[in-house]
Amino acid sequence: MMNIHRDSPPTETLPNMDKSPAVRAEDLTVVRGPRTVLRGIDFTVPRGQITGLLGPSGCGKSTLMRSIVGTQAKVTGTLDVLGRPAGHPKLRTLIGYVTQAPSVYDDLTIRQNLEYFAAILAPGHAAADQRHENVTRAIDDVDLTSHADSLAGNLSGGQRSRVSLAVALLGTPELLVLDEPTVGLDPVLRRDLWDLFHNIAAQRGATLLISSHVMDEAERCHRLLLMREGRILADDTPDALRTRTDSETVEAAFLHLVDEAVAAAAREKETTR
């Protein structure tokens, strides 16, 4: 059912790149208006895995994702995505991106929405069969086959966000950037979607970067980037994080790290005074 093209990270389009990280940032800074949203952060996102991007609302998760996709202005520092500078035209077919608010056409049906975006990704008559197959599969991936001919505007909030997710699953993206894809979904659907994410990583060799502010989802990621106030607080596996902070859950580990950071900042203030 799924397009199982490859079991290992892609080698045909990006020679000698399979060992390199999917995303590499050095001294990444983003300014939005008067605010510095990302403050000179460094991190890497390994290929073929699910990396969770966690942190409170407003900590810069969405801005970081927009920078990786190449839609964020005023980005300074180094940001390489799949071996090319972020925003490179060649990356546009390789990245699937889901914004926080569902971005689909309310006055089109689910199928019409997907058919249009598929035609942008793979235009022309020759690709028509492939497109049809991709559209049907993407609708099935997000479990909306029974609603395929409903107008997106008539769907529930959770259903609309799944249509938006389906658009990102069209084609075979090497990197999926998903901004809070499971917000507002019921537990069963959330579990199913996380199973789907794991399938995509395992069977298609794709890299997934998924943001969330729900800490229990962190347990399902291979790696975690914990963010707070425009900085990376931790970059590790869930297990290592829990062990390092001697915590039961990732949530407790996160709180522990925040307290540590606040205490360190206070000490610094003390010494500079």
- Can you give the binding site for another protein, defined by CB under 8 A? 20, 31-33, 69-80, 83-89, 92-93, 95, 97, 99, 101-108, 112, 116-117, 119-121, 123-125, 151, 167
Nearer to another protein, 49 or 93 (CB): 93
Spatial distance between the Cα atoms of 66 and 60, rounded to a whole number of angstroms = 10
Nearer to another protein, 33 or 187 (CB): 33
Cα–Cα nearest to 138, from 106, 107, 104 = 104
Q: Which sign does the torsion angle of CA 240, 241, 246, 252 carry? A: negative
Nearer to another protein, 151 or 252 (CB): 151
Nearer to another protein, 31 or 240 (CB): 31
For residue 189, the surrounding DSSP H or E stretch is: helix 187-204
Across the beta sheet with 231-236, the strand order is: 95-98, 175-179, 207-212, 50-54, 223-228, 231-236
Cα–Cα nearest to 235, from 223, 243, 245, 244 = 223
Nearer to another protein, 207 or 245 (CB): 207
Nearest approach, Cβ of 38 to another protein (angstroms)? Answer: 12
Nearest approach, Cβ of 233 to another protein (angstroms)? Answer: 25
Six-digit token string for 13: 């389009």
Nearest approach, Cβ of 98 to another protein (angstroms)? Answer: 9
Spatial distance between the Cα atoms of 194 and 181, rounded to a whole number of angstroms = 10
Nearest approach, Cβ of 122 to another protein (angstroms)? Answer: 9
Nearest approach, Cβ of 193 to another protein (angstroms)? Answer: 19
